[in-house]
A and B are shown apart, each in its own frame.
Chain A
């Protein structure tokens, strides 16, 4: 009985997040990230005269560099708090997770801090990506023959 009352009280006083507003911000910021990616891609393929596939690789490296640098300056954390999914779903979120883990554990030393903990947050992406790609690749090899 007491527990229920407490839960009701907590529910009443937790601030309600505006889901419509959050969704719209995520849509706009995520869309702008996509446009930025496409813009950098076309810039590279036009000025360096390379095929689109290579330009895509360069574009991803550029975005990772921007994400890391902005995390170091401290802007990115505020932006992620504001845009939420609009910034952590794009590849910049991966860079941000790695960079902030490396910075946070810096005080524990080079090997036991940065070396051991760099993948603390972003390791899940690589592990699940590799495992799922292996399973689905195997399935495709068996069913469709490659």
Chain B
């Protein structure tokens, strides 16, 4: 059942993105930035947590989960250290993704040449 939920949730997020792309002049870069902000905004009221419970991996795959993980790491540290914790814990949960993306793409770019 969770597979169906994952399919529906990830599909609808991508459908909204495609609708914005087709009907406005925004580029893919604008839309991904917009969706990250949207993911962080939805966590202001704990909405995205419920999506993750409902759709599992389907809610973690879209870029909206990046904003959700950023704000979660920040709030986790903030409950311990107060105001400064926001800056200390911001990358706690997402650093694994960002670091591995940097390392992987650095070494792969040494090996491969661009294709035209």
CB within 8 A of A23: which of B19, B100, B105, B106? B19
Given contacts A38-B3, A137-B75, are A31 and B36 in contact (CB under 8 A)? no
- Chain A interface: which size bin? 35 or more
Please, which residue of chain A has its CB at the minimum distance from the CB of B60?
Answer: A56
In the complex, how many residues of chain B place their beta carbon closer than 8 angstroms to a beta carbon of chain A?
Answer: 69
- Inter-chain CA distance A3–B52, complex, in Å, is 51
Interface membership of chain B positions 82-113, coded 1 if the CB is closer than 8 angstroms to chain A and 0 otherwise: 01001100100100111011101110110111
Could you tell me which residues of chain A, from 91 to 133, have a CB within 8 Å of some CB in chain B? 91, 93-95, 97-100, 102-104, 106, 114, 118, 121, 124-126, 128-130, 132-133
- Inter-chain CA distance A63–B33, complex, in Å, is 19
SS class of chain B's interface: helix, strand, loop or mixed?
Answer: helix
Q: Is the CB of B83 within 8 A of A38?
A: no
CB within 8 A of A41: which of B57, B90, B108, B113? B57
Interface membership of chain B positions 21-34, coded 1 if the CB is closer than 8 angstroms to chain A and 0 otherwise: 11100001101110
Q: Which residues of A contact B (CB under 8 A)?
A: 17, 19, 22-23, 25-42, 52, 56-57, 59-61, 63-65, 68-69, 72-74, 84-86, 88-91, 93-95, 97-100, 102-104, 106, 114, 118, 121, 124-126, 128-130, 132-134, 136-141, 146
